[in-house]
Amino acid sequence: MGRIGNIVSRKNKQDSKKAGLFTKLGRYIMVAAREGGGDPEYNSSLMSAIEKAKAANMPNDNIDRAIKKGVGELDGAQFTQVHYEGYGPGGVAVLVECLTDNLNRTAGGVRSYFAKIGGNLGTNGCVSYLFDHAGVLVIDRDETMDEDEVMMLALDAGAEDFASEEDHFEIYTSVEEFGSVRDALKEEGFSFSMAELRYLPQNSVTLTSEEDLKNMQKLMDLIEEDDDVQNVYSNWDLA
């Protein structure tokens, strides 16, 4: 069983309803370009950001404009990456990735979301040790794909793990090998419905209380709707 089956399902629902999705993606591209240069061939973070934007049907003009802002060819706000960590209902660990041009605004917002459902915003490191930082590649499967062949190609390219699900393959890599594995599979003709670095929970927490379930869903919705939030990870077992 793959480690992100629920994530794939939830991500599709999130992307269709997220307010300001293109704004979030534009910030992601800007920061990647600022930190590693505007050429995706030599900047794996930018390549991942662009692929994520294209998967969300972000127009090419928006992508190009974000890159130019990132490298300073166009005026734009300076965004800072910041993480917040805390606990939700039932002790669920929550890790929030943000890109912001106003740290006070973002910190205040995230803190208020946890407070509204009786959770706790903690210090850096309080829950991040419960997650693995890894590269994730998802290939939507079709009848022409041979599972063993895809698995061997991925492992030979440097992947650390492989999982086969009913409608897709999940490929896991180290952070360092993510770009090379992605590029090797692209050369073999594969395309990805997800190709990004993510935090994967080492273990999951199942909520049984109706109130905890309701509050956890509310917390996730509040965080995801914040324009400053890029990603939110938890060890909540959605099943």
What CATH number does residue 53 fall under?
1.10.10.200
* pLDDT band at residue 124 under the 50/70/90 scheme: very high
In a domain? residue 239: no
Whether 67 and 27 map to the same domain: the answer is: yes
What average pLDDT does the segment 8-25 reach?
63
Q: Is the pLDDT of residue 153 over 70?
A: yes
* pLDDT band at residue 19 under the 50/70/90 scheme: very low
Whether 121 and 137 map to the same domain: the answer is: no
Rounded distance between C-alpha atoms, residue 140 and residue 195, angstroms: 12
Whether 84 and 183 map to the same domain: the answer is: no
Whether 60 and 176 map to the same domain: the answer is: no
Whether 145 and 195 map to the same domain: the answer is: yes
What average pLDDT does the segment 75-98 reach?
92
In a domain? residue 86: yes
Whether 110 and 217 map to the same domain: the answer is: yes
* pLDDT band at residue 79 under the 50/70/90 scheme: confident
Whether 20 and 63 map to the same domain: the answer is: yes
* pLDDT band at residue 108 under the 50/70/90 scheme: very high
Q: Is the pLDDT of residue 4 over 80?
A: no
DSSP conformation letters of 56-121? TT--HHHHHHHHHHHHTSS-----EEEEEEEE-GGG-EEEEEEEES-HHHHHHHHHHHHHHTT-EE
What average pLDDT does the segment 186-192 reach?
93
Whether 107 and 225 map to the same domain: the answer is: yes
What residues are paired with 84 via a beta bridge?
96
Q: Give me the number of domains the chain comprises.
A: 3
| % of the chain residues with pLDDT over 70 | 92
Whether 89 and 182 map to the same domain: the answer is: no
Whether 48 and 141 map to the same domain: the answer is: no
User: Torsion angle, CA of 212/218/222/224, rounded to 10 degrees?
Assistant: 90
Q: Is the pLDDT of residue 119 over 50?
A: yes
Whether 136 and 191 map to the same domain: the answer is: yes
Q: Last residue of some domain: 25, 51, 71?
A: 71
CATH number for the domain harbouring residue 175: 3.30.70.980
* pLDDT band at residue 193 under the 50/70/90 scheme: confident
Q: Last residue of some domain: 45, 71, 97?
A: 71
In a domain? residue 172: yes
Structural domain boundaries, residue 179: 130-201
pLDDT at position 2: 63
- Quote the tokens at residue 130: 């419960």
8-17, 90-99, 203-212, range with the lowest pLDDT: 8-17
Q: Do 164 and 147 touch, CB atoms closer than 8 A?
A: yes
Whether 10 and 46 map to the same domain: the answer is: yes
Find the distance separating the first CA and the last CA of the chain, reported in whole Å.
Answer: 13
Mean pLDDT in the chain?
89
